[in-house]
Amino acid sequence: MSTTGLNSIEKKAAFSLASVFGLRMLGLFMILPVFAIYGQELTGYSPIWLGLAIGAYGLTQALLQIPMGILSDKFGRKPVILAGLVVFLIGSIVAAMSETIYGVVFGRALQGMGAIASAILALAADLSREEQRPKVMATIGMFIGLSFTVAMVLGPIVAEAFGLSGLFWVIAILTVFAMLLIQFMVPHSVNKAPRGDNVALPEQLSGLIRHPQLSRLNWGVFILHMALTACFVTLPKQFVESGLALDSHWQLYLPTLLGSFFLMVPFMIIGIKKEKETQMFTAAVALLTVALVLLWLLPSSFVALVILMVMFFTAFNYLEATMPSILSRIAPAGVKGSVMGIFSSSQFLGAFAGGLVGGAIAANFGEKAIFLVMAVLSLAWLIVTLGMQPLKKSKSFSFATNIADEEQADVIAQKLSTMPGVIEATLVQSEAVAYLKVDEKLVDLAEIKALLSSS
């Protein structure tokens, strides 16, 4: 079997799971560009309830992300994913049938309870070899980014055609498609990847939360998604006030997002080719801060909004794309599942906080003040990024072992740590697995496999 490319099962798993993830995120994101306008028609509307409706899914996602991953380890990936999609479907239907803002908030919270991200990533790990796992995960990440772009364009079109209720019904239909994909397209898992690779382990969480470098990224993704959600409490209204009708908002989002993807390429080239990733990361946070300050300062003219949206999304897309990669390289060997669980929970908590805080600011200080508060938080993040350590080029792998006892595990771990290209080696005898962080240019994976197979 070739180790240089994805095999047929890995290709099928990558694209089917990425499609499921993308459809679900599309359903969560489609409300962002329209709810600030259509939410005003609901009984009980207020800026605070508007913010809660936009961000409510984040709280339940954050609370259930890690437990759902652990449940998938116990009861199987597919049953937990299907159960989560059923809950998401019910939440979409509740929101579609609601005529009050309170019903929509409840529906959005239910959507968030279908927290299947960790279970999907765990299933992707189960269905891929350690050498090919990064490619599978990258495919899923690409579809998440694509779903956000499609949601920004599609949301206003669907809402204009079918109204807010129709938007939630479309989301419900997309969820049914995702369930069919899981049932009939996603391969059945035969082997399980090591738990440390994909599932958050409760006993590891407290120590990793305090990790100085990881905590910078966790707070960063919290602030990033807080700013995104808070800004969309007011941005659609700003566009309407600048003279752009809601059904034409997609004409702004499409070139803005495509332009931002194009403009973030220099950040990535300089970061990777020149090995200045931490500097480019800091520059992106600075760009985000400047965009938020200018959104607060400048009048809401159409031209100004377009330019500032390009700045905002260039920074957002770059940071969103690079943080998981940086996280996996900073994470100690063997705890990737726990690290990603904390990161994902921070991300969704940020979305919830953004909706809540954005609504509260709009109600008490005016909608423009949202940009000022988010700019201050982004500036605080910028200061924190200055303490980021330079990144080493590394990849994480896991290998099955036949180690008999802890003493032998220590001996093998010591041998592994002295091999060229091995940055870190952790052997877990109880799981019969070796976790390695390596420099791919220097390491000889065949030599590592030979040592582990002889043990």
pLDDT, one tens digit per residue, over 13-41 is: 889 998 998 888 888 899 999 999 999 99
What does the pLDDT read at residue 451? 79
Strand, helix or coil at 69?
A: helix
Q: Give backbone dihedrals phi and psi of 147, rounded to 5 degrees, phi first.
A: -65, -35
What is the C-alpha separation between 152 and 154, in angstroms, rounded? 6
Decide: 396 and 408 in contact? Cβ < 8 Å. no
Query: What is the arithmetic mean of pLDDT over 194-218?
Result: 79
pLDDT above 90 covers what percent of the chain?
Answer: 40
What does the pLDDT read at residue 1? 39
Vertex 133: Cα angle to 131 and 138 (nearest 5):
125
pLDDT higher at 204 or 368 = 368
Task: Please say if the pLDDT value at position 437 is more than 70.
Answer: yes
DSSP character for 67? H
Q: Give backbone dihedrals phi and psi of 7, rounded to 5 degrees, phi first.
A: -85, 180
What is the C-alpha separation between 267 and 441, in angstroms, rounded? 23
What does the pLDDT read at residue 2? 45
DSSP character for 41? G
Query: What is the arithmetic mean of pLDDT over 137-154?
Result: 85
What does the pLDDT read at residue 328? 73
**CATH architecture, domain defined by 203-391:** Up-down Bundle (1.20)
Query: What is the arithmetic mean of pLDDT over 101-117?
Result: 93
403 conformational bin, left if phi > 0, alpha if psi -120 to 50, beta if neither: beta
Most trustworthy range by pLDDT among 50-59, 136-145, 433-442:
50-59
Query: What is the arithmetic mean of pLDDT over 227-253?
Result: 89
The model's pTM is 0.85
pLDDT higher at 420 or 165 = 165
Whose CA is closest to 267, among 290, 245, 289, 283?
Answer: 283
Task: Please say if the pLDDT value at position 320 is more than 60.
Answer: yes
**Side chain identity at 168, as an amino acid letter?**
F
What is the C-alpha separation between 257 and 35, in angstroms, rounded? 19
Q: Each residue of 262-313: pLDDT tens digit?
A: 888 888 888 777 777 888 899 999 999 999 999 999 887 888 888 999 999 9
CATH class of 395-454: alpha beta
Q: Each residue of 181-193: pLDDT tens digit?
A: 998 988 876 566 6
What is the C-alpha separation between 275 and 386, in angstroms, rounded? 16
Q: Where are the domains of the chain?
A: 1-199, 203-391, 395-454
> Starting from the edge strand earliest in sequence, which strands make up the sheet with 422-428, in order?
395-400, 433-438, 422-428
The helix/strand count (H/E) of the chain reads as 18, 3
Query: What is the arithmetic mean of pLDDT over 383-409?
Result: 77
Confidence of residue 57 (pLDDT cuts 50, 70, 90): very high
What does the pLDDT read at residue 198? 67
**Side chain identity at 386, as an amino acid letter?**
L
Whose CA is closest to 378, among 197, 176, 179, 219?
Answer: 219
Q: Count other C-beta atoms under 10 Å from residue 389's C-beta.
A: 10
Confidence of residue 88 (pLDDT cuts 50, 70, 90): very high
138 CB-contact burial (10 Å; exposed 0-12 / middle 13-18 / buried 19+): middle
> For the residues of 74-126, what is the DSSP string, one character each?
HH-HHHHHHHHHHHHHHHHHHHHH--BHHHHHHHHHHHHH---HHHHHHHHHH
Q: Which ranges of 185-211 does DSSP label H, i.e. alpha helix?
A: 195-198, 202-209
Decide: 77 and 69 in contact? Cβ < 8 Å. no
**Side chain identity at 368, as an amino acid letter?**
K
Task: Please say if the pLDDT value at position 419 is more than 60.
Answer: yes
Which CATH number, 1.10.3720.10, 3.60.15.10, 3.30.70.100, 1.20.1250.20, labels domain 1-199?
1.20.1250.20
pLDDT above 70 covers what percent of the chain?
Answer: 94
Would you say the CATH fold of 203-391 matches that of 1-199?
Answer: yes
What is the C-alpha separation between 198 and 424, in angstroms, rounded? 18
163 conformational bin, left if phi > 0, alpha if psi -120 to 50, beta if neither: left
Considering the chain, what is the average pLDDT of its residues? 86
